[in-house]
Structure formats: C-alpha cells, structure tokens
Amino acid sequence: MSRGLILGIESSCDETAAAVVERGARTLSSVVASQITTHATYGGVVPELASREHLRAIVPVVRAALAQARTTLDDLDAVAVTSGPGLAGALLVGITYAKALAFARGLPLIAVNHLEGHIHAVLLDERQKSTTEIDVPAPDSSTGEPALALVVSGGHTHLYLARPANRTWTYTLIGRTLDDAAGEAYDKVAKLLGLGYPGGPWIDALAPFGDPHAVPFSFAQIKPKLHLQGKAPRTKAARTAPIADLDHHFLFSFSGIKTAVLRYVELHHMRDEAQARIPRMLALSRLPQTREEALALCPQPTLDLMASFQHAVVGDLMKKTFAAADSLGAARILVTGGVAANRELRTRFTNEAGKRRIAIAFPSLALSTDNAAMIAAAAWPRFLARQFAPAALSADPSLALGR
C-alpha cells in the first residue's frame, strides 16, 4: 500500500529546500539550504546569484532530504514543486529538476503555489500535533467555517479566506499590499540602519530594548478606489494578485513607513552612525540578547526608532487582519510567512485573539520562513484529488492564489 510520501521542492527565492512529508501530516525530513551569505553583501536577493546557487544546491539538498527521511526515490508517491510566485530563474531550477525526476520515475508531478504552501505550513504543524489520521483538510472542516490567513513575508502581505472544499482548499483574496511587503520594509529599514540581512530577525531582536512610542509612526488610511485609478505604485508585490474588487479597508501599504524612517534618520543625523555599525555587525556571531549587547551595537535613539517601526507595522497588520476576520465571520486566523516568526507580532496577535475570543495559529518557527515541507503538505490534498501538473509546467513569477 502506498505510504503517501510526497517529495516537496522549493526554490522560489533564496532558499533551496526539499522535504519528504507523509500524507500531508508528518514531516519525515525538511532540508533548507539558505543563500543568506551570498546575498548579504548586497543587502538583498540578487536574482542571477540566486539561480546559480539553486543549481549548485538542488541535487545535494534533495539527496539529503531523502536520506534524512530514510526513503529512496522508489518509496515516493509524487513530486511537488513550487511553480510561483517568485523569481523566474530561481523557480525554473526547482521545476526543471522536479519534472525530470517525476518523468524518469513515472511519478505524478504536483504544482504548488508558494502562498498556498505558507498557509499549509500552519495546517501541517497542526496535523503533526494531532494523533488522528487526516486525509481531508482538518481545522475547520467540522464546521465548514472558513479561516482567514495572513501571509506576511519578504515578498507578500496578503489576506486570504481559506475554505476546505471537496478534499482540497479554495482561497479568496481579501486584501494585500499595494506596494512593499511587510518583510521588505523590515529588510529595507534594517539596511538603512546598518543592520544585517535579512533585517527581520535583527529588528525582532533589538526592538524590545527600545521605546515603541518614541516615534509616532502612522499609517494613512488607504483611499477607496485610489488603487483603481492607476495611482498605486507598481512593485513586485503588487503584481501577484488583482486588487480591483478588494475592500480598501483590507489593503496594506508599507513603502510610506520605510520613507518615514529614512527621513527620520536623515533629520536626526543617524546615517553616519548606521554606516559605522556595518563592520561591527559583521563581526557578531549571534543576534544581541541582552540590553548591554543591544546598546553596544546601537545607541538608545536607534533602538527607539526600531521599536517604534515594529510597533507600528505590527499594529497595522493586526488592525486590518482582525477587521477582516470580523467582517467575514472567519472561524479563526492563521498567520504565516517569514514575518510571522516575529515575537512582538506573535504576542500581540495572540493577546488580541484572546480578547476577541477568536482562535489563532502560527507555524513553528522553522516552518514560518521558506521551506519545502509546506510545499509537500499543500500538495497532499491535490494528490488525493488527482490534480496533477501538465508536462509543460513552467514557472509563473506572478502566479496568483485563488480568486
């Protein structure tokens, strides 16, 4: 009898990842080769370098995933791969490899949307904790009520209503960013302040030592229909989903706060200090953990600026996510993607959910950022529904999820 083993492959951005997951519910292995050191010098992902690194890593990463799972290619039931959204050249490395493997082994190939993968990271963790065997999507299928998913990462800040339907899931786009993703704002602000790449973990570590109310950042209300008049900035995040029918209350914009931080830094002559931090920062072997370590790296006003930035970003994410959950009658909230690893975000979302008596779930930290276990898990309902990819599958850099 088939064990329901799916090999997942993910190469949409700067992580080459492979994982073996059993029946969408048990991670047998999850290997992630990060390219952080390659891109850190440039302060962001360089697409050409990303493709080259994926080419180097894909074979050893898949081998390691199979070995750690104590499986061979003969044990697999399907191969799943991220087909978009992401960097075209990076996606193609995973897709080409997955296609060749599936063809050579006569295995079905399943194409997975990266965003659906992030949502399934939460569901995979839940299934892993549950003892019952789950073939059909679990959480809300008992009541049939939908979950509101906030996917918040370096490339996305999207709200979806996720519903289990006929063994698979359906997704409706509820809101998204008009310009930068929240993680992109973290990365740009961190770069501006002379911190490492990616910036999220640095700001996460340093912000608790600053005053979150020191700088009163605010988010302007996004005007109704502004985005329909072609006035919304066009960035990579804005291309992945249509916005015409969305309620403007659930739209995000993070480019303004990034500019506000830039202005603040210039006005308060913090630029030189930020530049001077770079060599000291590179010499650190780990993130600062105590007030003394934080102050040795950044003066108090810089810590206050970071704390205020984070407080404002998390506040905005929270306000719109809970408003959407409320207005749509979602049974619960799922928060996922790299920024969902943030400690302030987890604490404040959890407290707010408690106050409002709405259930909330996050993936484990390892499954918050990019990985392939989430891709293999998202593929399982598709495997059961026999939704296989065509032989001509190609990369779709701006693949949208749902309607």
Residue 15 Cβ, how far from Zn ion at the closest point, in Å? Answer: 8
Q: Which residue has the tokens 């949502």?
A: 119
Under rule CB under 6 A, residue 339 binds ligand KG4? yes
Residues 295 and 175: their CA atoms lie apart, in Å, by 38
Query: Exactly one of 16, 83, 113, 153 binds ligand KG4 (CB under 6 A); which one?
Result: 153
Q: Which residue has the tokens 């920024």?
A: 339
Cβ distance to ligand KG4 smaller for residue 208 or 301: 208
Query: Exactly one of 35, 82, 113, 153 binds Zn ion (CB under 5 A); which one?
Result: 153
**In this structure, what is the dihedral angle of CA atoms 186, 161, 149, 252, given to the nearest 10 degrees?**
20
Report which of 124, 89, 86 is spatially closest to residue 8, judged by C-alpha positions: 124
Under rule CB under 5 A, residue 14 binds Zn ion? no
What burial letters (b/e) apply to 145-164, b meaning 16+ CB within 10 Å?
ebbbbbbbbbbbbbbbbbbb
Residue 186 interacts, among Zn ion, ligand KG4, none and using kind-specific CB cut-offs from 5 to 8 Å, with ligand KG4
- By CB under 6 A, what part of segment 69-108 binds ligand KG4? none
Under rule CB under 5 A, residue 83 binds Zn ion? no
Residue 249 Cβ, how far from ligand KG4 at the closest point, in Å? Answer: 24
Residue 190 Cβ, how far from ligand KG4 at the closest point, in Å? Answer: 7
- By CB under 6 A, what part of segment 2-61 binds ligand KG4? 13
Query: Exactly one of 189, 344, 370, 377 binds Zn ion (CB under 5 A); which one?
Result: 370
Query: What is the distance, to the nearest Å, from the Cα of residue 114 to the centroid of all Cα atoms in its chain?
Result: 9
6 forms bridges with which residues in the sheet?
A: 21, 78
Single-letter code of the amino acid located at 244: A
Cβ distance to Zn ion smaller for residue 304 or 370: 370
Report which of 144, 116, 115, 139 is spatially closest to residue 126, judged by C-alpha positions: 139
Under rule CB under 6 A, residue 402 binds ligand KG4? no
| 3-class DSSP assignment, residue 64 | helix
Q: How far lies 253's CA from each of 176, 217, 272, in Å?
A: 8, 13, 28
Cβ distance to Zn ion smaller for residue 193 or 377: 377
Residues 168 and 179: their CA atoms lie apart, in Å, by 30
Under rule CB under 6 A, residue 342 binds ligand KG4? yes
Q: Which stretch binds ligand KG4 (CB under 6 A): 65-73, 94-102, 181-189, 210-218?
A: 181-189
Report which of 377, 384, 276, 380 is spatially closest to residue 336, judged by C-alpha positions: 377
Cβ distance to ligand KG4 smaller for residue 108 or 201: 201
Residues 327 and 349: their CA atoms lie apart, in Å, by 17
Residue 154 Cβ, how far from ligand KG4 at the closest point, in Å? Answer: 3
Q: What is the DSSP letter of 341?
A: G
Q: Which stretch binds ligand KG4 (CB under 6 A): 20-28, 61-69, 196-204, 227-235?
A: 196-204
Cβ distance to ligand KG4 smaller for residue 22 or 204: 204
Q: Residues touching ligand KG4: how many (CB under 6 A)?
A: 19
Would you say 305 and 120 are in contact if contact means Cβ atoms under 8 Å apart?
no
Site residues, Zn ion (CB under 5 A): 153, 370
Site residues, ligand KG4 (CB under 6 A): 13, 153-155, 183, 186-187, 198-201, 204, 337-339, 341-342, 369-370
